[in-house]
Chains A and B, each alone.
Chain A
Amino acid sequence: MFRERYGIFMSMDIFLQHLLNGISVGSLYALIAIGYTMVYGILLLINFAHGDIFMMASYFMIFAVVDFGVPVWISLPLIIVFTVVLGMLLERAAYKPLRSAPRMSIMISAIGASYLLENLATYLFTGVPKGYPDIPWLTAVINVGNISFQIVTVIAPVLIIVILLGLMALVNHTKTGMAMRAVSKDFETARLMGIKIDKVIAATFAIGSGLAAVGSVLWGAKYSSVYPLMGVMPGLKCFVAAVFGGIGNIPGAVLGGIVLGLGETLLVAFFPGLTGYRDAFAFVVLIVMLLVRPNGLLGEKTTDKV
């Protein structure tokens, strides 16, 4: 099984290529993981439909650019708006009515919403994959020596840092952010203190969905294939990333995403015989993490409210 023909003695440029692949896929995981972690932090809900919102964002882009001929620079903000609206609608329809229901009900509702979106997309757009519109300033290939990469490969990690800083500022230094922190600390007390919980939750879904839309643009530029089940695997992986970094913690989600992306890529790089175990890696990491440090890398130890 271990065919390490060139595993250990890998040339420098091939190693750098692997490293670059890892960081860029990790940054994409991070973008989507933030959406999971924020919703969890506030609602203690794992929004299983998050990966499918990401998928819908990709279809929005195809419709805007390919079917309606909207220029890319107008489509970008447009699809972010549409995705945010979709995320908020989903919250209104599937989660808000269950606000006071047991946590299990709202979880089941999330799974239902996920299936609904996947099947709706299959019904409306068929299962045949569609090509993501070409965005030259993201997809152009750059060659440095023997290393080739698309511009998006370098944009993704930079963007994730900018977004992380922005979110931290929002959470720590604005009124909305303060409300978010309060709600995540204690739901009931926050409500008693006059915080409009529904608004805070809506804002959280808006941010998460917006980031999913941004993620879908980078993802589309990099992987170019759009189909109804495209959100399933990123959804699962990013959930793992969020738990790994400490669910509820935004920098944790970013760290988790990057570690996961790098780990997966380097596993394949150093042990080519193990390519079949790539996904297993993510879930083994999850299990080990839950055993050793259930709160995740950056997660805080919390006293349970039960």
Chain B
Amino acid sequence: MKRKVMAVLLVAAMAASMLAGCGKSGGGEAGSASGDVIKIGVFEPLTGENGGGGSQEVDGIKYANQVYPEVLGKKVELVVVDNKSDKGEATTAATRLVEQEGVVAVIGSYGSGVSIAAGDIFKNAKVPAMGASCTNPMVTEGNDYYFRTCFLDPFQGTVMANYCTQQGYTKAAIVYQNGDDYSTGLANFFKASFEKAGGTIVSEGVIQTNDSDYNSILTNIKAADAEVIFAPSSITVAGAFIKQARALGIESLICAGDTWENEAIIDVAGEAAEGVVLSTFYDENDASASDEAKKFVPGFKEYLGGDDAIIPAVSALGYDAYCVVIDAIERAGSTDGDAIRQALADTSDFVGVTGAITFDENGDAQKNVAIVKTVEGGEFKYLDTVTVTE
């Protein structure tokens, strides 16, 4: 008897989900063309390795949507899909956005690997995509439909390599995550710049996905006597990595890229995080910032619920990515993919929270300023503004 009831329930559930599926796809087609909302896809990792950073980027996008809820006289609806920090899942999520949901543009993703994986799907569907914080060059290369609001890894790698050289360091170790395009890319750009400046890389370590024991890599670094460790990695890795390094008695400077500007790292590493140096996109206390930025800081903090924590740079970039897309749709005057793409390409000196945005021929925001920060007294402190012109 019990079994029969279960079977009936299961069949009912399956039938219901099939009906729901049909309804959804029908609605999606109508929504993009003639509905009274304009759908924008948010393609971000909410779970997995980069789930933490991805959610922070989504916070920025959602806040921007709250501030500017309308375009072309219609309401903007955000369709958030989770790419699970996984390249395979990323293509599924991207396909869902363009085929089922019928979005007119996409924002994301945190993490370059998933953005690269989904690039062709957006390109083939002629849906413009706006990366917020994906810094690997390959995201926009050869893809006319992918843009981004942040600087690139070759630049970021140079910034950190220059910083280390200026401090008088000549022996560096690099550590990166296996299969993570952001991490391996940035580490290699750092290596190239550091060696160009006359330094040597004395040790290279590779971290495995989901691994939390870095002692063997760190012991090798200790043996090689590196003065500085450059370890661009996800925030999941970062805190534990720093803590284990200090527990092994390694006193070298530990530095990394933009992902590390996150409270979670200080929370996990505690006192060990003191003195860590990183480059990032944005400083909320920048006095020369635009009015948009000055409005954003208190507004976003209130949106987050009055937490006195710093604003993650990725949230600010997410905010900018949304605003620049909305601006382009407004100027294009339509929701046609090619029209929006053209409007985005024509964007010139758009005033964002993280600085003025103009796209080059690759679709990358022309940004040549990075902020270098350090951890002091359990907080991220502004250290330097670095401009690289080449």
Answer yes or no: B212 CB below 8 A from chain A CBs: yes
Quick check: A276 and B210 within 8 Å, CB to CB? no
Answer yes or no: B199 CB below 8 A from chain A CBs: no
Partner of B52, one of A17, A126, A264, A278: A126
Partner of A148, one of B47, B56, B208, B247: B247
Interface string of B205-227 (1 = CB under 8 A from A): 11111111101110110111000
Quick check: B219 and A131 within 8 Å, CB to CB? no
Pick out which of these stretches binds chain A: B97-105, B133-141, B261-269, B321-329: B261-269
Count, chain A residues at interface, CB 8 A: 51
Partner of A230, one of B45, B212, B220, B235: B212
Q: Which of under 10, 10 to 19, 20 to 34, or 35 or more describes the interface residues of B?
A: 35 or more
Quick check: A272 and B220 within 8 Å, CB to CB? yes
Partner of B268, one of A225, A228, A269: A225
Chain A residues, Cβ within 8 Å of B49: 229
Quick check: A127 and B52 within 8 Å, CB to CB? yes
Quick check: A233 and B210 within 8 Å, CB to CB? yes
Partner of B54, one of A11, A127, A229, A233: A127
CB of B304 to closest CB in A, whole Å: 13
**How would you classify the secondary structure of chain B's contact residues: helix, strand, loop or mixed?**
helix
CB of A113 to closest CB in B, whole Å: 17
CB of A102 to closest CB in B, whole Å: 15
Q: How many A-B pairs with Cβ below 8 Å?
A: 145
Quick check: B211 and A279 within 8 Å, CB to CB? yes
Quick check: B223 and A10 within 8 Å, CB to CB? yes
Quick check: A272 and B249 within 8 Å, CB to CB? no
Q: Which residue of A lies closest to B267 (CB)?
A: A131
CB of B89 to closest CB in A, whole Å: 13
Q: List 22 A-B contacts (CB under 8 A).
A: A11-B223, A17-B222, A18-B219, A21-B215, A21-B219, A127-B55, A128-B52, A128-B262, A128-B264, A129-B52, A129-B264, A129-B267, A131-B239, A131-B270, A143-B249, A148-B247, A224-B243, A268-B216, A269-B220, A272-B203, A272-B220, A275-B204
B residues with CB within 8 A of A: 45-52, 54-56, 178, 203-213, 215-217, 219-220, 222-224, 235-237, 239-240, 243-244, 246-249, 262, 264, 267-270
